[in-house]
Amino acid sequence: MSIPTQKVPAFGLGTFRLKGQVVIDSVSTGLELGYRAIDTAQIYENEAEVGQAVVDSGVPRDELFITSKIWVANFAQGQLIPSLQESLRKLKTDYLDLTLIHWPSPENQVPVAEFMGQLLEAKRLGLTRQIGISNFTVGLMKQAIAAVGAENIATNQIELHPYLQNRKVVEFAHANDIQITSYMTLAYGEVLNDPVLKQIAERHQATAAQVALAWAMQLGHAVIPSSTQRANLASNLRALQLTLSADDMAHIASLERGHRLTSPKSIAPQWD
């Protein structure tokens, strides 16, 4: 299966669940260590802090790749673009590099074509360089493609780790040249104690976290691990230098067990 064109940087910094000074410190440290892609969302309630950390870092805007996500409450006609403009104000930037629909509209309250159309308009207006989706099933991806064309969908950001490899969604996305962004690549730390990953890590003089991140990137996915610890931020970054063998990749592929960790009842779709 061919790997889609890389539209999203392979390695970025996630900010989920990080707020206040904690997120400022994480982003500041990340930028200092060489991270250049940062992932946030309206619902994380940390866009202003992320923006502050970015401005204070002194890293030129054109060296950065900033992603945010539109929350489900902002999908209705006439609401999406103003909510994105508010995100830009908080992030202290004129544009985003990537704007995602965070979750599909609960019970299809706002049709896919309606919010995707507004997102494409935001791209035309120059508010965002690229657009994409998150937590979309194959059926929902088909609707998004029908609405704006696959060429306008940079990525589908989904839960993906060795225990949930989401192969149906990956295959469909790749067939349409849509890159996958893996979130929770470390499965909330569960994979760090996995004997298979630890064995592979030992062979490469690496950590289990580096192995999981390298595995996802070798499949063509972007990864956005987060951390509040400088040592872990630096260590995760070293996954970029790690190359796994075909044997390593096959061993990790065998860890699939459909172990989904994120499925909020009020908004989760019927998963594939």
Lateral strand order in the sheet of 65-70:
13-14, 37-39, 65-70, 96-101, 128-134, 155-159, 179-183, 222-223
Task: Summarize the annotated binding site as residue ranges.
Answer: 102
Whole-prediction pTM value? Answer: 0.97
Residue 44 designated active-site: yes
Among residues 44, 95, 163, 183, which one is catalytic?
44
Task: Summarize the annotated binding site for substrate as residue ranges.
Answer: 102
Q: Which domains does the chain have, with CATH numbers?
A: 13-253 (3.20.20.100)
Measured at the CA of 214, the angle between CA 129 and CA 139, to 5 degrees, comes to 55
Contacts 24+ apart (CB under 8 A), 225-232: 225/13, 225/14, 225/185, 225/186, 226/13, 226/14, 226/15, 226/16, 226/17, 226/18, 226/26, 227/26, 228/18, 228/22, 228/25, 228/26, 230/29, 230/33
What is the rounded distance in angstroms from the CA atom of residue 160 to the CA atom of residue 155?
Answer: 13
Provide the residue-wise pLDDT of the chain in tens; the chain has 272 residues: 678 888 999 999 999 999 999 999 999 999 999 999 999 999 999 999 999 999 999 999 999 999 999 999 999 999 999 999 999 999 999 999 999 999 999 999 999 999 999 999 999 999 999 999 999 999 999 999 999 999 999 999 999 999 999 999 999 999 999 999 999 999 999 999 999 999 999 999 999 999 999 999 999 999 999 999 999 999 999 999 999 999 999 999 999 999 999 999 999 999 99
